[in-house]
Amino acid sequence: MVVSWRSIIWVLLEVLSSMNLAIILLVIIAIASVIGTVLQQNQPYPNYVRKLGPFWFEVFRCLGLYDVYSSIWFICILAFLVISISVCLYRQVPVLLLDMVKFHTKIQIESLLNLQQSTEWLSIDRNTKQILAKVTGTLISHNYSWRSQDYGTHQVVAAVKGRYNRLGYLLTHIAVVLIIIGGLLDSDFWLKLKEWQGQIAVERRYLPFLSPIPQISKLQPGAIPTFRGNVMLPEGNTTNFVFLSLHNGFLVQELPFSIELKDFKVEYYETGQPKAFISQIRILDQEHLGIQPLDAIIQVNRPLVYRGYSIYQSNFGDGGSKLKLRAWPFYSDRNKWLHPLDLQGSVGNEIKLSGESGDLTIELEDLRLFNLLPELDSERKFHNFGPSLSFKLRNEVGKAWEYLNYMVPVQLEGRSFYVSGVRTSMEEPFRYIYIPSANNSPERFLKFNACLHNLDWVRTVLKQNKTAIENSSGLQRDFEFIRLNLIKLFMEGGFPAVSARAKAVVPADQLYKVTSLYFNLLEDTLAKIFIEILREEGMKVDEGVGENEEVFLKDAIFALTTVPNYGAPFYLQLQSFQQIESSGLQVTYSTGTSFIHIGFFLLVTGIFIMFYTSYRRIWIWLAVENFAVRLVLAGRTGDRCQSDFINEFLLFREILNDLLGTVPKKES
């Protein structure tokens, strides 16, 4: 069997330009797009491993599902759609253009009679010229343009309206091709191409700011025609590059100029929500600006365009604020009650501590000036809880606890508390500890806590404050022993530890009685210690304590129960700070923009031409046969909805009825 190349190509073109293929492609693109919205895109790989497990992680990775929209297969489908539409256009354009300019006066009477709208008259001889003049006049008043042709035996008037309607079809499809091409030009195709050619390599290590980056991961200005990069720039710093992210790693794109961040600020509404993110930047460009720098202010929705590069305000964060901290230990050594440690650090850096229980690292992560949170009593009202510090505490083996400490005491039911949240993984919510504040300091509570750990001291205090019953009998030693044990248990595991112990040692029938005795005794002991602390503060406590102190004790006891689960051996108080902000800038360079703009314009124009103009043709065929006039009126429309055209056609028929003074011979 001989198959010619010509026929293969023909068949291929036929398939490519078929409507079925185009529609199948539309549906495939739609379905593929759904995947990318269901599975969060471009997350760090560990997140996917955790969510999917190692097996499915690998399967999904091979399918490119973490970045569907720039995966090879997705790009191929888009390219396929472009080819399909282009082939279709290539085949249709000549036909349509020809149809647009032609009037089709050469039409045969048989074809006219076969049209959906067609009527034929036979009438005694009349002035054909007058008839034609009348008909063409009516055509013009209905916005038709017409041509007439005299063939000797007969005359044809061919009229057309809205012939540019078909242009709509062309424009929309050209537009779609242009938009997809523009989009592909602006995709990370170029990066992937360079990577595939081995000219660049993605850097996957985490490198600190300003550390040297291997040449293979760097791109010179103009190395790729389009990019979208980001950089976090602390106030006062200058950059001449941005980071491009690719495959869970990054590349460095150098810029032909430098950007200096003079100042970054966040403006707030009265309610506390952010109102504006404003970066004051300075462009330094010896080559184009000389020594005169260009100052500009950029905001969200107000980028700066400089030499074709667009600079956007896209993010913000801490640029290394300087912090003064105080670590209040929860567990004191034997000699001293409380020995707070003053520390200094800056956000983004670490503080190393060594202690009895091994080395600890404080990773200072973020300082937030405002914390707008819903008030406890209503979902709607927001309250600013002031500055907060988030940090991680990492032990020798690498286990980390994450903390969120508010600087200013938080008001709750008229009392104030130092609030600190803790969690061991990002997925958990924070568990909070509420340290009651006295005289705007957490000191009293922390001292109380430290003292309770010092059992020797507790014993001395108990000896000084014996109650009558304890004095009078031999129970003294037993009571003291029980009290000390209860304190020890309580400090190790809170109330649950106490009741667990009771359960372990007391028979079931007496459990309730003994447990409540234990609790009473414990609370009494705690109160005694607390009064001693107050006495040491210089407060007069012999005639009892005030209501405030009673409430404080209650809050303190509650806070004590949460200390054992707090993780950290100290409470880190943020004393003061000097904020240094950094602004996240996005810099883009695009080549596809003009394609996309033209595409948008053509698409809108095309759609409105296509849907809101109508394409209609009308023919009048006229001949004098056997001393009679034979006249055929026929027409067709490209509209999907025929009814408007039918009405117009009927109108024309009425006019001709009138002119010819007769009724139609034949109706279709």
Partner 1 sequence: MMSISNSMPIKQWEKRSFWQKLTVFDAIWGLIVTVGSGYIYMSYRIYMDSYEVAIQILATLTLIIWGFYWKSVRPFILAVATLAMVALWRYGIDSELHKGDLLLRYFLESQAAFMWMSIFYIGATFFYLCDFLRKSEIFWRTATSLLWIATVSGLTGLLVRWRESYLLGDDIGHIPVSNLYEVFILFILITGLLYLFYENRYRARAVGVFVTLVISGFVVFLMWYTFHRQAYHIQPLMPALQSYWMKVHVPANFIGYGAFTLASMFGIAFLIRSGAEIHFPNGFIERVLPPLELLDNIMYRAIVLGFSAFTVATILGALWAAEAWGGYWSWDPKETWALIVWLNYAAWLHLRLTKGWNGAPMAWWAVISIFITMFAFLGVNIFLSGLHSYGSL
Q: Name the site residues for partner 1 (rule: CB under 8 A).
A: 19, 22-23, 26-27, 29-30, 33-34, 36-38, 40-41, 68-69, 134, 137-138, 141-143, 183, 186, 228, 269-271, 273-277, 299-301, 303, 310, 312, 314, 379-380, 586, 588, 593, 596, 600, 603-604, 607-608, 611-612, 640-641, 643, 647, 650-651, 654-655, 657-658
CB nearer to partner 1: pick between 257 and 577: 257
Minimum separation from the CB atom of position 603 to partner 1 (A): 6
Minimum separation from the CB atom of position 358 to partner 1 (A): 40
Minimum separation from the CB atom of position 263 to partner 1 (A): 17
Minimum separation from the CB atom of position 140 to partner 1 (A): 9
Q: How far is CA 426 from CA 54, 363, 417, 447, 563, in A?
A: 20, 15, 25, 32, 21
Minimum separation from the CB atom of position 350 to partner 1 (A): 32
CB nearer to partner 1: pick between 270 and 356: 270
> Is beta strand 388-395 parallel, antiparallel or unpaired with respect to 249-268?
unpaired
Phi, psi (deg, nearest 5) at residue 584:
-90, 115
* DSSP E strand stretches across 87-236: 117-124, 145-150, 154-161, 218-219, 227-234
Query: Do residues 451 and 529 make contact, with C-beta atoms less than 8 angstroms apart?
Result: yes
| Cα–Cα distance, 78 to 29 (Å, whole number) | 8
| Cα–Cα distance, 155 to 631 (Å, whole number) | 10
Minimum separation from the CB atom of position 600 to partner 1 (A): 5
Query: Do residues 631 and 204 make contact, with C-beta atoms less than 8 angstroms apart?
Result: no
Q: What is the 3-state secondary structure (H, E, C) of 281-333?
A: EEEECHHHHCCCCEEEEEECCECEEECCEEEEEEEEEECCCEEEEEEEECCCC
CA-wise closest residue to 349 among 336, 335, 361: 361
Minimum separation from the CB atom of position 622 to partner 1 (A): 19
| Cα–Cα distance, 369 to 371 (Å, whole number) | 7
Minimum separation from the CB atom of position 84 to partner 1 (A): 12
CB nearer to partner 1: pick between 577 and 652: 652
CB nearer to partner 1: pick between 33 and 47: 33
Query: Do residues 588 and 229 make contact, with C-beta atoms less than 8 angstroms apart?
Result: yes
Per-position DSSP letters for 154-188, written without gaps between them: EEEEEEEE-TTHHHHHHHHHHHHHHHHHHHHHTST
CB nearer to partner 1: pick between 280 and 299: 299
Minimum separation from the CB atom of position 69 to partner 1 (A): 5
The CB-side HSE value for 386 (13 A sphere, CA atoms) comes to 12
| Cα–Cα distance, 230 to 249 (Å, whole number) | 13
In our burial notation (b when 16+ CB lie closer than 10 A, e otherwise), range 5-24 reads eeeeeeeeeeebbeeebbee
Q: Which residue has the tokens 């609790």?
A: 519
CB proximity list for 233: less than 8 A, separation 6 or greater:
239, 259, 261, 319, 582, 583, 584, 585
Q: Give the DSSP letter of residue 63.
A: T
Minimum separation from the CB atom of position 297 to partner 1 (A): 13
CB nearer to partner 1: pick between 449 and 588: 588
CB nearer to partner 1: pick between 183 and 340: 183
> Is beta strand 154-161 parallel, antiparallel or unpaired with respect to 227-234?
unpaired
Minimum separation from the CB atom of position 659 to partner 1 (A): 8
CB nearer to partner 1: pick between 228 and 453: 228
CB nearer to partner 1: pick between 276 and 408: 276
| Cα–Cα distance, 560 to 557 (Å, whole number) | 5
Minimum separation from the CB atom of position 643 to partner 1 (A): 7
> Is beta strand 249-268 parallel, antiparallel or unpaired with respect to 218-219?
parallel
CB nearer to partner 1: pick between 434 and 589: 589
CB nearer to partner 1: pick between 70 and 562: 70
Q: What is the 3-state secondary structure (H, E, C) of 581-634?
A: EEEEEEEEECCCHHHHHHHHHHHHHHHHHHHHCCCEEEEEEEEEECCEEEEEEE
Minimum separation from the CB atom of position 310 to partner 1 (A): 7
CB nearer to partner 1: pick between 502 and 587: 587
CB nearer to partner 1: pick between 418 and 589: 589
CB proximity list for 349: less than 8 A, separation 6 or greater:
320, 364
Token pair for 7: 């026929």
Q: Give the DSSP letter of residue 351.
A: E
CB nearer to partner 1: pick between 476 and 662: 662
Minimum separation from the CB atom of position 23 to partner 1 (A): 5
